[in-house]
Amino acid sequence: MKNFLKTTLAVFVALILFTIISGIVSVSMLGAIASMSSSETALQDNSLFKIDLSGSLAERVNENDLEYLLAQTSGKPTPMGLNDLRSSLKKAATSDQIKGIYLNCGLLSASPASAQELRSLIEKFKAESGKPVYAYGDNYSQAAYWVASVADSLFLNPQGVIGLCGMSTTIPFFHEALDKLGVKMEIFKVGTFKSAVEPYVLDEISEPNRLQNEKMLSSMWAEITEDIASSRAIPAERINQFVDNGMMFSDANDVVALGFADATIYRNEMTTFLKEKFGKNVNFASLKKIKNAPSTEKFSMNKVAVLYAVGQIDSGSEGEMNSEDIVKELNKLAADDNVKAVVLRVNSPGGSAFGSEQMWFAAKQLRTKKPLIVSMSDLAASGGYYMSCIADTIVAQPTTLTGSIGIFGMFPNFAGVTDKLGVNFCTVKTNELSDFGNSMRPMTTSERIILQNYINRGYELFISRCAEGRNTSNDDIKLVAEGRVWSGTDALSIGLVDILGGLDDAIAIAAAKAELTDNYTIAEYPKQKDALTQLLEDLTGESLTNIVLKHRLSNTDFSFLTSHSSFLIPQGSQALTPYRVEL
């Protein structure tokens, strides 16, 4: 009877899963067919490129994954990929059918460097095409307003707000909670500023960590205020007064009087305004529509490869960075004679020191065969900097977080928990260190010495890799290391990066170093997965859990949960920075 029930239940679950997968795959295939048919349709005349500045902004978005489909079916804003926006803006700039851009603004969530890059791409569109950009928002998030401030005219709902509020960091400290539970964290680190371990051993922020946070935020906020001040022709001091006086909740007409918007109108009136500017037959082309429109770019066998290295290194979580995969991609690109140069697009807080070293070595080997340029996105810190430092040229946004040259190891000791529960352990071993790493007892003095020496060697290796890549001495690198995080602007001044700019700048540098003019194609790697493969992966246990959590939680809350949950599992030495800044 029990076997019968088990078999029946297994068949029932299998049928449910098959039904779900078949349904999703069918929907996905229908969507793919629709996309294919729409890609054959030319853009309509007299169109505006409508960009919805709401939802989240990512490096790349796979429209086949479950997260994207869930957003579509729930009516939530779908994530936007910077790569799609970049290529679509280039296409829109040269299209006779596209007459300008309409920024439909809302609660955009984006890291500073991503928002800054999108802002720069829209500025470039204006400069190269001469076409106008108009923005409207019922309410503007800080990121949306920063991007939209480049518009020729910016409009606000009469009951709306412009959410300029400055920047802050909030760091949770778990030491007291862990102490109550009986968990003690064994800490091994190098670097005064290496602060990822602080929440587990301190009850408040250390002074070095406070210093680097203040410096980092000040640099970023200065960049944001200067951009807005320049575009809106208002003094930077007025922006800070606006923030300090809480004027985001002021009457919208006062916001207009201060120069932060050009007029207050309702959404229907914005539609009327656009029809007056472009005619009653004005059309709106979505990001997907323009992305799928035929490209006019000429194909060339010569390629500049853009390899995306995104996420925490070897964290074990779906969607994060697997160092073995990146090494394989680097090796393939090094061996591909059609690839004349490589741009490594890094967006990572770091992670496994071992994995970082493997990617560094593969990048070094590639550099002996062809130019290697690094383009830093939101953050390329710790292990993210480790894998980047060997490049010919490093390009970063002013608001990129980078540096954090340091290493730590953190191992939980659950002896206090087991003591409270009355659980005892008896270990039989052949050698003194046979149970090395046993988390059910405190570490011995000799074990701590061994681990600290291991961390020290890892730090010295990290320093030497940076010194080699930056063509300087170990001592010079140590002056800016110690785990300290720098903004892109500050990193430029101390020699950790070479140029401030975005991915387009990095691609141009790569093409120039490979002596390519206009006869090259930009190719993205790794190749995105097809619909069936992606959906089957998404429906596995951990992936599905992460997708559901991400769908339910805000980006900030999800990042917090995933970044801290792994620390209760021993993972070896880490080159990792704890910062994930969002606007």
- How do residues 8-20 score in pLDDT, each as one tens digit? 444 444 444 444 5
Alpha helices, H only, 130-184: 142-148, 175-181
Instruction: Report the SS3 class of residue 249.
Output: helix
Let me know: does 449 contact 227? Beta carbons within 8 Å.
no
pLDDT band at 132 (very low <50, low <70, confident <90, very high): very high
What is the reported pLDDT for 69? 60
The span from the CA of 401 to the CA of 112, in Å, is 9
Let me know: does 381 contact 490? Beta carbons within 8 Å.
no
Let me know: does 394 contact 470? Beta carbons within 8 Å.
no
66-69: Cβ within 8 A, 24+ apart: 66/24, 66/534, 66/535, 66/538, 66/539, 66/543, 66/544, 66/547, 67/538, 67/547, 67/550, 67/551, 69/24, 69/27, 69/28
What is the reported pLDDT for 555? 56
For residue 71, give Cα distances in angstroms to 6, 22, 109, 551. Answer: 35, 19, 15, 8
Task: Check the CA dihedral 540-543-544-545 and report its sign.
Answer: positive
The span from the CA of 520 to the CA of 160, in Å, is 46
Q: Which residue has the tokens 């997968």?
A: 21
398: preceding bond cis by omega (within 30 degrees): no
Lowest mean pLDDT among 59-68, 200-209, 397-406: 59-68
Residue 529 burial (CB count, 10 A): 15
Let me know: does 362 contact 391? Beta carbons within 8 Å.
no
Residue 556 has pLDDT above 80, yes or no: no
Q: Which residue has the higher pLDDT, 400 or 553?
A: 400
What is the reported pLDDT for 519? 85
| pLDDT tens column, 360-411 | 999 999 999 999 999 999 999 999 999 999 999 999 999 999 999 999 998 8
Residue 504 tokens read as 């387009």
Average pLDDT for residues 117-129, to the nearest whole number?
A: 97
Q: Which residue has the higher pLDDT, 547 or 221?
A: 221
pTM: 0.85
The CATH number of the structural domain formed by 43-165+246-292 is: 3.90.226.10
The span from the CA of 411 to the CA of 455, in Å, is 13
Amino acid letter for position 230: S
pLDDT band at 252 (very low <50, low <70, confident <90, very high): very high
Q: Which residue has the higher pLDDT, 404 or 552?
A: 404
Lowest mean pLDDT among 170-179, 290-299, 363-372, 430-439: 290-299
- List phi, psi (to 5°) of 412: -80, 145
Let me know: does 152 contact 134? Beta carbons within 8 Å.
yes
Lowest mean pLDDT among 344-353, 423-432, 462-471, 562-571: 562-571
Instruction: Report the SS3 class of residue 484.
Output: coil
What is the reported pLDDT for 562? 53
Candidates 312, 304, 431, 277; CA nearest to 373 is 304
Alpha helices, H only, 137-206: 142-148, 175-181, 198-201
pLDDT band at 535 (very low <50, low <70, confident <90, very high): low
- List phi, psi (to 5°) of 219: -65, -45
Average pLDDT for residues 86-115, to the nearest whole number?
A: 96
| pLDDT tens column, 474-518 | 999 999 999 999 999 999 999 999 999 999 999 999 999 999 988
* CB proximity list for 583: less than 8 A, separation 6 or greater: 108, 109, 110, 111, 112, 115, 141, 142, 143, 146, 167
Let me know: does 361 contact 386? Beta carbons within 8 Å.
no
Residue 415 has pLDDT above 70, yes or no: yes
What is the reported pLDDT for 534? 56
Note the residue count of the chain.
583
Let me know: does 463 contact 474? Beta carbons within 8 Å.
yes
Residue 357 tokens read as 């070293």
The span from the CA of 507 to the CA of 379, in Å, is 19
The span from the CA of 253 to the CA of 292, in Å, is 40
In 427-496, DSSP assigns E strands to: 485-487
What is the reported pLDDT for 11? 42
pLDDT band at 300 (very low <50, low <70, confident <90, very high): confident
Candidates 107, 11, 15; CA nearest to 52 is 107
The span from the CA of 458 to the CA of 262, in Å, is 55
